[in-house]
């Protein structure tokens, strides 16, 4: 039994190898080592944040807003063409994956689908 591997479906450590298959007795999941490695690489690729045009964004980039954005709890609007400098990428569970400061508005979070790389 291997204690360094876990079931990709339920996370159980009680797994065993049968030929080239790994089997989890708790959830009856079966997988190969290659399929588990492929899932890990897909997860890493999923963490890449792209702008509205499909360009990969990185910390410190400058972006431009491509749509008027209403600010929640305010009557203000961030206008199209507003340049946002020095963005920070984050793992926003609600889709807001860019943390930044916008001149005249202050600190806020943006969705990457509403910006393009400058």
pLDDT per residue as tens digits for the range 50-97: 999 999 999 999 999 999 999 988 899 999 999 999 999 998 778 899
Contacts of 55 (CB under 8 A, 6+ apart): 116, 117
Q: What is the dihedral of CA 67, 58, 109, 77, to 10 degrees?
A: -30
Cα 24 to Cα 11, 14, 29, 40, distances in angstroms: 9, 7, 5, 18
What does pTM read for this prediction? 0.61
């Amino acid at each position: 039994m291997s204690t360094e591997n876990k079931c990709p479906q339920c996370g159980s450590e009680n797994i065993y190898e049968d030929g080239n298959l790994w089997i989890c007795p708790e959830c009856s999941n079966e997988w190969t080592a290659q399929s588990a490695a492929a899932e890990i690489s897909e997860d890493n690729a999923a963490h890449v944040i792209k702008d509205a045009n499909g360009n990969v964004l990185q910390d410190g980039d400058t972006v431009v807003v491509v749509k008027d954005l209403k600010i929640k709890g305010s009557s203000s609007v961030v206008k199209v063409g507003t340049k946002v400098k020095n963005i920070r990428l984050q793992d926003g569970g609600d889709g807001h994956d860019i943390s930044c400061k916008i001149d005249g508005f202050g600190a806020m979070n943006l969705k990457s689908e509403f910006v393009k790389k400058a």
